[in-house]
Structure 1
Amino acid sequence: MVQLNLSCISSKLSEDIIQHAFKIKTNSEDSVNYIKVTRAAPAGEGLIAAVYRIACLGQYHKTSFIAKGLVQDKLLRKSILCSKIFFQREAYFYTNILPALTAVQKALGAKESLQNNIPICYGSYTDGANDYILLEDLAENGCKSLTNEPTEQERDTTLKALAHLHAVSMALRVTKPEIFNSIATQLPEAYYNDINRDWYAAYLKNAIAIDFDVLAEFEDPKTSVYYKRFENLISNGVYKQLIELTSHRDELAVFNHGDAWTPNFLCSEELTVAIDFQALRCSSVALDLSYFIVLCGNLVQTKQDFQKAVKIYYDFLKYYLRDMGIDENKVCSWNILNEELKKYGKFGLLAAVTSIPLLVSKKCDVLEKFEEKYAGYERIPLEELWKLTPIESHEQKKWLVNVVRISVDLGLI
């Protein structure tokens, strides 16, 4: 086994940078005497970055950091055309967007701080070749990644974290529109766009085939309104609709997490933190909200379950807006939120078309030797990197079927 070191993450991540971060984090003048680098994320937690843990031992203190670096395999990096954009976007979030959000929250006299729901960033570097982001290690606070079956408490505190991000974004939009708009122009859609359309096509086709097979087990293709509505949704072009939904920006748009599925939230008994802001976008709150809710399949099995989760989210949104002295009825009333969901809430199902089959399939390891495995390829097909397998378990099948039924019952499709 190869011994990992800082250069495995990035040639620009030096011991001096770690020393500086160590002093800040420990609030001391202690120096690091020992550094150990290990993997921090399991195989398949994404294709853009490799995630590492950096354990640091000083004379009087010890702590650890999480570092994200670009995947080292040249062919894999070449295959993910948007990898540079994703990394730059996450670094931009920590260095520009988050400071603007926390500043407006403080200026409005809020008791709460968005930073409590987001990891502290101790440094970043992006040049498209040696990128890294250095973050606090939330495992030190007892945080663990959400599973595909979160508890009610985990779901609700994650909705709270999303509401916090959206509320402060709304505050920036209404009190500092010039800053909000300046940031928004830097956030063209990075994932669902024409550049990735052809690369995504075969993978999407495989996912849709799996979805139809599952749905046909529970709904008669000839008579079921659920099957027919889903069929009609698919016939209108899934990727085309995803591009339209994610690229639409109007006066109600906010900064969205962009990839609000369960693996991107860490929870402890006292804390819920959002991670991985690489797909950050400026769009309707309905995108983050509908996507996260439908992926809590063990808790959201009916229209009423969905509506309950929306109400929980909205109560938190109201709280954070009022904490900043903002009347929720002037920026996002209950009626406005429900209108947003009617217009854009089908995003949850459209994104789940691929996400549910992916979540229940075995994913690739970003540290594999792809140049050897796919010698002769100019670009590795996405369907090779994310090989989808038929959904076998009854519970997982019902998860997908319930998302379709809920979307129809709510009038989202």
Structure 2
Amino acid sequence: MPEEVPVGPAPGDVAFGHVPDWMDSTFFEKSLRAGLEDPGLRVTGNDVRAATGKGENYVSIVYAARVTTVKKDGERDGKDEEEHHLIIKCLPSNKARRLMSNNAEFFRKEVDMYEMVFPEYKRLAIGRGVTLPWPRHYSTLLDGEGDYLVMDDLRVAGYVMTDRLAGLDPAHLGAALRALAKFHAFSYALQLKEPEVFRTKVYDRFPETMFAYKSEEMMDMFIKQAYGDTADAIREWGEPKHEMIADWMHAVKGTSVRQIIELLSPDDPGAVLNHGDFWVNNMLFRYPSGEGAREPADVRLLDFQIARVCSPAADLSYLLATSITKVVREAHWEALLQNAYHDTFWETLEALGAKEIAKARSSELFTWPWLQSEMRRFLPFALCTSVTTATVVLAESSDAPDMDTMTEDQLLGKDLNNPFAHLVKAKLYQERLRGLLDFFLEQGVFQ
């Protein structure tokens, strides 16, 4: 009889629900020695497990670890042992996912963010009283095969995710917008105060790698299928307005990619470094002490693998399409966009000593009317995000496709057996999509 092929991941594979055998004491010792600049540190124990559930992270496999250490001589500042809580983000072993990640430079971008960009932001903030809304990082590997990042697990300090399926309520949305405003303002301040540093460490290092001319053919296949599947699903709702929208989607699906490529230009006058994947699961919230406190006191941003240089309206549109309900959008979005995002952007520029430079550069850029105009200009990107990304981020864990068995053709939309197609029929997504389509209809997107 033929020998049976082993089922499941190999010992060294990075796959959901499986901890690779190389993630051991030696690995953690090397990472912590580098990040803490302590060559005498010695790991005495480690416990590693999955950090996220199925359907919560599609680009990486994420692990959480509790690691105990002592100094080489057995002492550490008078204590026998010290405990470290870490997050390890890894490049999946699945060949199709690895190819997609390497082509889009996902890990390279996040490594550059932590090793090149954030140190510059930290330098800008010295003595200025501006908090830095991202976690500390310890070590990285970038070789296209076994890429990883090791950083603090902020959950131990009281930071938690909110419910991705419920979306952000007004308090959490305001906190998220303030954190994003700081993130964008750091980028603009660096551009204004040190343009050569911005050019070499930001502009040159964070090109658009998904909606780019070099990947236009691939993205065109993906978008055509997503728009077609969505159009067919909403046509079943039976209302005349949905029939019209379905016809429109089928008509424009062959031109949408070029439109998005042009929108995401890094050469727009107001271009800043965008997060790129700014949705509810890529932020952690911490609450004040005290029973029943539910308004966040602080927020930290995660996952910078799709970072790009373009208008700040890209991140804002992405958040609008993926992370808030119709009720929150209609009652709070406009006010929070102005009071939480726009005001914080200018407050951060002032704290970083760049406000007057910004005003001297342009009397129009980053004014409230300018931001409103940018949001209108980016409505096609918001629609594209609602048709492509929102289907995945709003999926129940039980409905999420198994990314570790996915083929390249399935990821690129070439396979007629599309593992994501059923997600457009999900109850929560259709409920959120109805509200978004009404919003886009009111804004004149389907004309």
**TM-score, scaled relative to structure 2:** 0.77
In 1: Cα distance, 2:253 partner to 2:410 partner: 27
Q: What are the equivalent positions in structure 2 for 1:9-408 lying under 5 Å apart?
A: 14-20=27-33, 31-58=42-69, 59-78=80-99, 80=101, 82=103, 85-106=105-126, 109-114=127-132, 117-146=133-162, 147-148=164-165, 149-182=167-200, 183-213=202-232, 215-216=234-235, 217=237, 219-221=239-241, 227=245, 231=249, 234-235=252-253, 237-269=255-287, 270-298=297-325, 300=327, 305-311=332-338, 312-325=340-353, 326-327=355-356, 330=363, 332-361=366-395, 362-366=399-403, 368=404, 370=405, 379-383=409-413, 386-389=419-422, 391-392=424-425, 396-408=429-441
- 1:246 is displaced (CA, Å) by 1.8
1:168/1:395 CA distance change after superposition, 3 Å: same
Structure 1 CA distance for aligned equivalents of residues 157 and 394 of structure 2? 28
Provide the C-alpha distance between the structure 1 equivalents of 2:188 and 2:100, rounded to a whole number of angstroms: 36
Output the amino acid matched with 2:314: L
Q: CA deviation at 1:202?
A: 4.9
Q: How much has 1:167 moved relative to structure 2?
A: 1.1
Q: CA deviation digits over 1:107-139, x for unaligned, max 9?
A: xx521132xx10111111212122111111011
Consecutive unaligned residues in structure 1, runs of 5 or more: none
- Bigger drift between 305-314 and 32-41 goes to 305-314
Quote the Cα distance in structure 1 between the aligned partners of 2:204 and 2:153. Answer: 31
- Cα pair 2:36 2:138 within 8 Å, conserved: no
**Secondary structure of 1:297's partner?**
coil
Q: 1:67 to 1:357 in 2, by over 3 A?
A: same
Who is 1:4 aligned against? Answer: 19
Corresponding residue for residue 15 of structure 2? none
| Worse-superposed segment, 302-311 or 91-100 | 302-311
Q: Which amino acid aligns with 1:96?
A: M
Alpha-carbon RMSD: 3.3
CA pair 74-412 structure 1, distance change in 2 beyond 3 A: closer
Find the residue that maps to 2:317 and give its secondary structure. Answer: helix
Q: Partner letter of residue 399 of structure 1?
A: R
Matched residues in 1 for 2:90 and 2:242: separation? 50
Deviation of the 1:296 alpha carbon: 3.0
Evaluate the alpha carbon distance shift between residue 302 and residue 120 of structure 1 in structure 2; reply closer, same or farther with a 3 A threshold: closer
- 1:288-311 alpha-carbon deviations (Å, 9 max, x no partner): 012112323325565564322321
Shift of 1:6: 6.0
The residue identity in structure 1 corresponding to 2:282 is N
CA distance 1:79–1:223, shift in 2 (3 Å): closer
Larger radius of gyration: 2
Identity of aligned residues (%): 23
Aligned length: 395
User: What is the one-letter code of the residue matched to 2:64?
Assistant: R
Deviation at 1:74, TM superposition (A): 3.3
| TM-aligned CA deviation for residue 280 of structure 1 | 0.4
Which runs of structure 1 show a deviation greater than 6 angstroms over 4 or more consecutive aligned residues? 27-30
Which whole-Å deviations, capped at 9, do the CAs of 1:230-262 have from their partners, x for residues lacking one?
548835622222222223422210000011122
